[in-house]
Amino acid sequence: MNKLHKEMVASQLHQEGLTQAEIGAQLGLSRVRAGQMIQAHEAREAQIGQVDKFTAELICSECQTSRVLNTIRNAGCEGRPDKIAALGPVELRKMSSLGQKSLDIIANILERIGQIDEAKQWLRRSK
């Protein structure tokens, strides 16, 4: 789990009512460090403002975010996860030679936000 993902999880746990000590114990951090991660995530969220859910989750993932975001931007799909889903993995891979790990992450995010039914099925799709 990378730092940004850990910050997001810490913030989610905090919103669910867990104390900083409980969050720290779950994530293997001190209470103070858990609090710092929550604050960092909340500050980043405030800066990001109204970013679509797909992009926000992508930023917190472990893929090469800038490369994926540039591919999405170049395809005219920024802020449009429905268009990303419609393109499919074959077209995305053609546009910028995205690796399998990046495509897996994209598929999982699309599934989580309800743009596709099943990530594995979407990844097998060819256009």
Residue-range domain boundaries for the chain: 3-48, 53-124
| pLDDT of the residue at 47 | 59
100 contact partners, CB below 8 Å, separation of at least 6: none
φ/ψ of 72, rounded to 5, equals -65, -40
Task: Tell me the C-alpha to C-alpha distance, in Å, between residue 83 and each of 48, 64, 78, 93, 102.
Answer: 22, 20, 9, 15, 17
23 alpha carbon, distance to own chain's centre: 21
Averaged pLDDT for residues 9-17: 93
Total-model pTM: 0.56
- 30-41: pLDDT as tens digits: 999 999 999 988
| pLDDT of the residue at 125 | 81
Q: Between residues 43 and 21, which one has the greater pLDDT?
A: 21
- 43-102: pLDDT as tens digits: 877 655 545 677 767 766 766 677 788 888 888 888 788 888 898 998 888 877 788 888
* C-beta of residue 65 within 8 angstroms of C-beta of residue 2: no
